[in-house]
Structure 1
Amino acid sequence: MRINKSLLTNLLALLLVAGSYVLGEPLRPYLFNTGLFALSGGLTNWLAVYMLFERVPGFYGSGVIPLRFEEFKHAIRNLIMEQFFNRRSLDRFFKDATEISDRLEIELKASVRKLDLDSVFESLVDAVLRSSLGGMLGMLGGRNALESLRDPFKEKLEDYFQVLFDKASFRHHLQDAVKNSVESEAVLGKLEAMIDSRLEEMTPQLVKQIVQDMIREHLGWLVVWGCVVGGLIGLAFSVLVTV
């Protein structure tokens, strides 16, 4: 059973606030301020994580990951076309292949496994660092704090694109694209249109689902540390006030 770190930490902070009304002096202000500051820190970071994926009216920069999905799709398209379906590659296919559509299908499947998805991951990290979470992430290591997400992110995308380009409808369109074409230039144009059509199936909601659970699980620690740092500040404040 997966424990929701964010919810558990915020509940503990809330219990500290509630417990302060049970305890008498002199512990009450220490417990109250520690719990209140911890709760404010945890809720602030929870909201920041939430706003990576959801638009919140009145909050500039919220929903940054779905908002950048067009850029995300454009990066994938360029990777496929520039790395594996450039004119030089197609000229080679037409020169020595008898079943061009079969060769292209095999190459496309292989290309998904070889895609340089690191650049797509870096784009995602840049979006996160420019969001309202950037400051807190900087305290916890900045870009390095998200590095452990790189391999799971790449694996999820590879699996998704393997399924996307392995559909029977795509194979049929690929065969149709080269059936009456006699030069690589014509096939290249058709390939670009086909890949664009496939990528159009990616919606903001789908992009969000690909990364949401993975990132939320990892960034849940920001809520924990927000509570810890907030609680320490609240405790220090109580000590300074009573001295």
Structure 2
Amino acid sequence: MIRLGVPSKGRLMEQSFAWFADRGVRLTRSASDREYAGTVEGVEGVALVLLSAGEIPRELAAGRIELGVTGTDLVREKLPGWRSDLIEVAPMGFGHADLILAVPECWTDCRTLDDLASIARDFRAAHGFRLRIATKYHRLVRAHLAAHEVADYQLVDSQGATEGTVANQTAEAIADITSSGATLRANGLAVLDGPPILQSQATLFMARAATGPATDAFLRRLGLDGTKGL
């Protein structure tokens, strides 16, 4: 039995269901929103497992599901060396978002990472502690800042409402996922110039340990080639 992990609620679930339906596989959640169970029609030997998008990378890596739909940002953040455990089968064309760095709009002299590095040095000298960046993407942000020689900062963990941390004075800057930037602007934040830390979208992943005739046949049923990431 192939276990297929799909986000358990919201727009990601709906768009995932639509993506599979377009390929002749109908996924249906149980009648109760409190039940994380569902059915698969149009193909044999596949079971639907409903999970939060954040759980799916871990479940894939642990071998508890064979295939899963989740964001590229979550895989890269949660699984160091993820390529040794997972195969990126196919981007799915929805759930687009950029992982960005944003600072207060009133920091008119901070528009690039070089500006941020300079401001961070001055901030530490002036305040006696490092400039705080609120994020839940510690691994990705730390690697990005190291690559651009930004050193005088500290990461503050934020698992929700990250855009509000600057106004609440628990951070001076943020690194977060955004699609339109409207929430950032509403909170008086401006995205630093340059490419984002990561461009993310919903993607179908497969556990490397799950490669074999059954998963290959299912992926062919979807019009995909599961061996291209090997």
Common fold: TM-score over 0.5: no
More helix by share: 1
More strand by share: 2
Of structures 1 and 2, the one with the larger relative CO (CA 8 A, separation 6+) is 1
Which of the two has higher C-alpha Rg? 1
